[in-house]
Structure 1
Amino acid sequence: MRVHFIAIGGSAMHNLAIALHKKGFEVTGSDDVLFEPSASRLAGYGILPQSTGWFPEKITSNLDAVILGMHARADNPELLKAQELGVKIYSYPDYIYEQSKDKKRVVIGGSHGKTTITSMILHALQQAGKDFDYLVGAQLEGFETMVKLSHEAPVNIIEGDEYLASPIDRRPKFHIYKAHIGVISGIAWDHINVFPTFDNYIEQFKIFADTIETDGSLIYSQTDDVLNNMVAGLQHPANKLPYALPQFEIDNGVTSIEADGNTYALQVFGSHNLLNIEAARLVCEQLGINKHDFYTYISSFKGAARRLELVGKNEQSTIFKDFAHSPSKLTATIDAVKKQFPQRKLIACIELHTFSSLNKDFLNEYAGTMDEADEAIVFIDKKTFEQKKITPYAADAVKEAFANGNLQFFDNPGALRNYLESLDISNSNLLMMSSGNFGGINLIDLKNILLNYTEY
């Protein structure tokens, strides 16, 4: 099979390219910009484009498929050439389905927790010695790539994003996979640039549920009222399996699950992670792993990358970084840290970076989300406003939207860095949340300054 990737450098795209290369496909690709770690990883497998840019001459009629990344535009010259020649064009979710249509497909959807639930399932299946393919949205410890596609594995575990499939395929990705086992972790409005109303956003999850195979299962959080109401109105015959918080305790900063007379100490914490564990457990039970074995396996799960990831700690303080950026994720992450360390002050800093979070009409969705933090900081790099062609707004607008008059606002990364470096975080936790990079602030350097090199 000869496959060409347009926009090969994307996170999912370059991992899919590597997966197909390892499967024995002849893989080529192009991109107008290649960042790390994509470039080095592609180079390691001998499939890094020789130069950046778009080269229509790479598109020939003897290609079996062209895979189109979301980063490309609809007028991309390579895409136009493929359309002219009649070469079969796929989005990456289309091609994942094409490679998985004869396997059992597990698709994890929801506004939050998708990557973590998927990671938990992969961890448990790996611990159980089972063979499986997968697509996950983060690099995981113990897994070489974010995508695996094989001839032999009987099941594919797929993180099901609700964002659009490609520039010429405006379907949400998770509509394409046709799950046998579908998961919805919760519904909280996101991607306002694509789904302009909450009702329109909810509709995408209804469609996802309706794509589940007739004899399949829908696993969903019954703690989410919006999701509960949606599921109650479904006519689909799939088996409905709700989940809620398990019995648990927090002792000396360690969360444990209690089940059937046994106690399972965890390396992750927070109500959102306990719910994620229950979603993963129900999936794994459908795949032949019993409750006791699952909880035993999940006890060694350290978390997905950038999800409450430990930056550093000493005896009095801990610094975390997290991918949280939407209102629901922000609330859940702050709540988790506050409950895990109730005696410590919590300093929470979020960078608003996505199109949705920066949209002034959406900003009010953040009202009250940082109220549990003892000190709340919001950062928007003024360069981000410029890059995304959004009219900047002042600190007062942010404070009003968050309904928090004590909130501090920064739009200059240097000023934010200076402020953070001046903090006394004794008997405190610092939580840094962003899908960006805080304007280039080095969190390792910040850790070393704040913890005085006394981490253990």
Structure 2
Amino acid sequence: MRTHFIAIGGAAMHNLALALHNKGYKVTGSDDAIFEPSKSRLEKKGLLPAEFGWFPEKITSDIEAIILGMHAKADNPELLKAQELGLKIYSYPEFLYEQSKNKTRVVIGGSHGKTTITSMILHVMHYHNIEVDYMVGAQLEGFDTMVHLTHENDFIVLEGDEYLSSPIDRRPKFHLYQPNIALLSGIAWDHINVFPTFENYVEQFEIFVNQITKGGILVYNEEDETVKKVAEETTNTIRRLPYITPSYSVEDGTTLLDTPEGPMPIEVFGAHNLNNLAGAKWICQNMGVDEADFYEAIASFKGASKRLEKIAEGKGKVAYKDFAHSPSKVSATTKAVKAQYPNRKLVACLELHTYSSLNAEFLKEYEGALDAADVAVVFYSPDAVKIKQLEEVSYDQIAQSFKRDDLIIYTNPAEFKDFLFNYDLNNSALLLMSSGNYGGLNFDEVKGLIQ
């Protein structure tokens, strides 16, 4: 099958391109810019475009599927040519559904924990040599790509993102998968540039639950009141399996999970990650892995990339990097690190980088999010606000939103770096939370502060 990717360089798109190439498809693609690691990975497989830009002449009538990335615009020259020729145009999630409609689809949804839960499930399957297709939002240890597609595997595990499908398909991605087995981890308002009210955002999850196939399964976190309400009020004829955070303890910096065989040391930590683990266990059991085998496998799970990822450890010092940016994630991650290192000073640094976090109206949602930190630092770039064409947020608005008198705020990358590199981190835990990079912070240099 001949496929062409419009905006092949994205994290998700290039992984799908690699997966299709590995499956034997003929793959071509275009993009106006491609960065590492996408560039090297595409080049290695001979899929890197010869030159960057959009070339309508690449779009010919023998292409059987156009896959359109979110990075492309609705007036993209290649897209317009494909429409003119009447070619079949798929969004990323639409094409994944097309590839999996004869499989058992397991979809992991929720405002937070999706990547971690999906990663836990895949780790367990990999540990027990159970072959499944998958799509996950982070690079995992032991896996070559973030997308894997075959003809023969019975199951496909999909991370169900609620963001939009493509520039010409404004449906949330997870509305397109029609799961047989679904999980809902939590609902906390996000993506306000697309879902302007909390009610509108919650509605997307109601639609998701209603699209589970008849007789299917919904695994849900009943500790989240909104999730519980959505799960219990659906009229869909499905089996509902609630889960809660399992019992655990922390001893000398090690988390011990209570199991039928007694306390078991695990690599991940924090109440939110133990909650994620409980959800992953239910999913794995419904995929044929029994409880004892799940525990055996999960003991060695170290976490997904950028999700509470330990980047360095030295005597009396440790540093973590986390993708957390929404208020609920920031709060959960900060509490987790403090609980793991109760006798150390927690220096928590948050970069406001997303559309939602840089929105003056949304900022108030961050009240109390950094309360577990001993030292709380917020960094944001006024340039990022301008690029995103948002109203500028002020120093005072940020200070008032977090409701913390000792909050340290930086808007200059050099000044933030100067603070970090001159702060005494002895007997401390450093937590860097962002979906960005603090205006160009070199994380390898940060490791040098710790080791």
- TM-score where L is the length of structure 2: 0.99
> For residue 204 of structure 1, what is the aligned residue in structure 2?
204
1-structure distance, mates of 2:62, 2:196: 41
Secondary structure in structure 2 of the residue aligned to 1:397: helix
Q: How does 1:52-451 map to 2 (within 5 A)?
A: 52-448=52-448, 450-451=449-450
Does the CA contact (< 8 Å) of 2:360 and 2:391 recur in 1?
no
Does the CA contact (< 8 Å) of 2:135 and 2:148 recur in 1?
yes
% same residue: 55
2-structure distance, mates of 1:428, 1:263: 27
Q: Provide structure 1 residue ranges, at least 5 long, that are not aligned to the other structure.
A: none
Shift of 1:329: 0.5
Shift of 1:313: 1.2
> For residue 12 of structure 1, what is the aligned residue in structure 2?
12
Q: Which amino acid aligns with 2:121?
A: I
Shift of 1:245: 1.0
Does the CA contact (< 8 Å) of 1:264 and 1:296 recur in 2?
no
Shift of 1:372: 1.1
2-structure distance, mates of 1:338, 1:388: 33
Q: Deviations over 1:285-343 (max 9, x none)?
A: 00111111101100000100001111111121111110000001000000100111111
2-structure distance, mates of 1:446, 1:34: 26
> For residue 32 of structure 2, what is the aligned residue in structure 1?
32
Q: Which amino acid aligns with 2:44?
A: G
Does the CA contact (< 8 Å) of 1:347 and 1:429 recur in 2?
yes
Shift of 1:386: 2.1
Q: Deviations over 1:424-449 (max 9, x none)?
A: 1111111000000111111221231x
Does the CA contact (< 8 Å) of 2:359 and 2:393 recur in 1?
no
1-structure distance, mates of 2:394, 2:423: 24
Q: Which amino acid aligns with 2:350?
A: I
Secondary structure in structure 1 of the residue aligned to 2:429: strand
Shift of 1:233: 1.2
Q: Which amino acid aligns with 1:8?
A: I
2-structure distance, mates of 1:446, 1:176: 41
Shift of 1:388: 1.3
2-structure distance, mates of 1:329, 1:142: 26
1-structure distance, mates of 2:95, 2:443: 37
Shift of 1:377: 0.4
2-structure distance, mates of 1:261, 1:34: 49
Shift of 1:407: 0.4
2-structure distance, mates of 1:86, 1:240: 42
RMSD: 0.8
Q: Which amino acid aligns with 1:237?
A: T
Shift of 1:391: 3.0
Does the CA contact (< 8 Å) of 2:358 and 2:393 recur in 1?
no
Q: Deviations over 1:358-395 (max 9, x none)?
A: 01110100011111111110000222122112232322
List structure 1 runs of 4+ shifted beyond 4 angstroms.
none
Shift of 1:166: 0.3
Secondary structure in structure 2 of the residue aligned to 1:218: strand
Shift of 1:406: 1.0
1-structure distance, mates of 2:232, 2:241: 12
1-structure distance, mates of 2:298, 2:90: 35
2-structure distance, mates of 1:344, 1:104: 46
Shift of 1:226: 1.2
Aligned residues: 451
Q: Provide structure 2 residue ranges, at least 5 long, that are not aligned to the other structure.
A: none
Shift of 1:283: 0.4
